[in-house]
Structure formats: C-alpha cells, structure tokens
Amino acid sequence: MPAQAPALSSRPYDLTGQRILLTGAAGGIGRATANLLANLGAELVLTDRAAAPDLLASLAGNGRVHSFVACDVTSPSEITALCGGVGAVDALILNAGIFPTSQWTDDPWDDDFDAAMRINVRASAHFARALLPAMKARGTGRIVMLGSVAAHTGGTYAHSPLHYAASKGAVHTMVRWMARRAAPEVLVNGIAPGSTATAMVATADPSALKALPVPRFGRPDEIAWPIAFLCSPGASFICGTTIDVNGGAYMR
C-alpha cells in the first residue's frame, strides 16, 4: 500500500512537541540552531565534546526542559551510551564537525585526515545507526546532516584542505544512501553551507568572496533556518536532498 501523506498543517514550521537531538551544539551554527529550534517550540537534547554552561541558560523554555550531554564523538561507545540514554527523539541534527587546516604536504596530514573522517563522517553514521531503527519503528522521524559547499567545489579557498572536502563529500553520499533506507517513515536530508562566520573560518580571507553573487560570509542563523525547516512539517515531501545555502558560491 502506498505511504499516506501527512495531514496538512496550519503551522507548517512549528516544532512544538518535537524532541530534537543536536550535535556540535556549542559552536556557531550549533548555537544558532539550538536557539531557533527552542524558539520554534522544540525540546532539545544538546551535545558537544565539552560542557557549555551558558548554552542552556540562553534557550527559550516555554515549559520545556532542555538538556546537555557532553560526548566525544570520536568514541563509538560514548555515542552509543548517549543515544541509549536520551529516550525517543523526533529529529536528529548531525552538526558536529572539524576543519583541520593542514595541507597534504604537512607532517600531521595523515592524522588530520583520519580525524576528519572519524568526526565528520563516521560519528554521524554511529548516531544514525543508534537512533534510526527506533524512529522507523515509531513511524516518523527526521535526520539532517551538515555537509558543505566544499563537497561540490573542492573548497572556496585555494588552500582548502583535501580531508575536509572529501569528508563532506562522504556526508552528501551518506544522505542519499541513508534516505533510501530510512524512508518513508524517516526523512533524511542535508544542508551544504557556504563560508559561514564561525570560528572555523576565523583566519579566512574575506576578499575571496568578492566574486560571489552574495559577496559575504553567511551568518550562523542563516544556516539554522533551513536546518529547522527540514525538521518541520513543511518539509514532509523532501527526501534525500542536500540544500545548498551558500550565497551563490555554487549553483546547479
């Protein structure tokens, strides 16, 4: 029998009643996303590698209790323990990532390549593997993965590192691979940000953006908006897509 379309919603972007787990919550995009999700009514389970005491205090409550759990995402056992203890979640946002700056001619490149793959790719797979089965069993869920424009272009800057672009290309592939296996109960999609004003690009030269149609860095909240959209009822027919949010740095 064909899957039934969800009921029409009069508030398609409202997240009231949703319980969402967000990784990389202490960073620039993570914080912006946490604040937006809370304002839209979600209850949040936040995680990052170290405690962020000010984060929970900054979030809108409105009768909901948000929580934070420190987790080293390079450790499969810590991911398993976290996911086993959080209970049911309606959406999983996989935002944790690193941007090592070493070049492939540098001595630490092998270690940095491995770290990029562990954190940007393997950790996301572990989170999804732990939480997707329960989402499918409940008959509903969303997974949003953070890719990058670098997966399309090889990097905005000439010195963009290979391991970062390669890891984000793997994330885009994982979105499509997982979407085919998770649907129709769970919708898996991605976001591919362009250069965004976070600590990750603190040393970047903004002059490289002058030729872009929108010649500036994106703001973290400009990435948070489409992330939240993919968790909302308004994205009920989007599956296996990676949305480009890059000010025109890449068009297709």
Average confidence (pLDDT) over 77-95: 97
Q: How confident is the model at residue 65 (pLDDT cuts 50, 70, 90)?
A: very high
Secondary structure tally for the chain: helices H, strands E:
8, 7
Q: Whose CA is closest to 89, among 43, 32, 30?
A: 43
CB atoms within 10 A of CB 5: 9
- pLDDT, tens digit, 9 for 90 and up, residues 224-246: 999 999 999 999 999 999 999 99
Q: How confident is the model at residue 159 (pLDDT cuts 50, 70, 90)?
A: low
Distances from the Cα of 208 to the Cα of 2, 195, 204, angstroms: 49, 10, 8
The reported pLDDT for the residue numbered 158 is 61
Q: How confident is the model at residue 202 (pLDDT cuts 50, 70, 90)?
A: low
CB atoms within 10 A of CB 149: 24
Q: How confident is the model at residue 4 (pLDDT cuts 50, 70, 90)?
A: confident
Q: May I ask the CATH architecture of the domain 19-245?
A: 3-Layer(aba) Sandwich (3.40)
The reported pLDDT for the residue numbered 85 is 96
Is the pTM for the entire model greater than 0.85? yes
In the residue annotation, 164 being an active-site residue is answered as yes
- pLDDT, tens digit, 9 for 90 and up, residues 171-185: 999 999 999 999 999
Q: How confident is the model at residue 211 (pLDDT cuts 50, 70, 90)?
A: confident
The reported pLDDT for the residue numbered 144 is 98
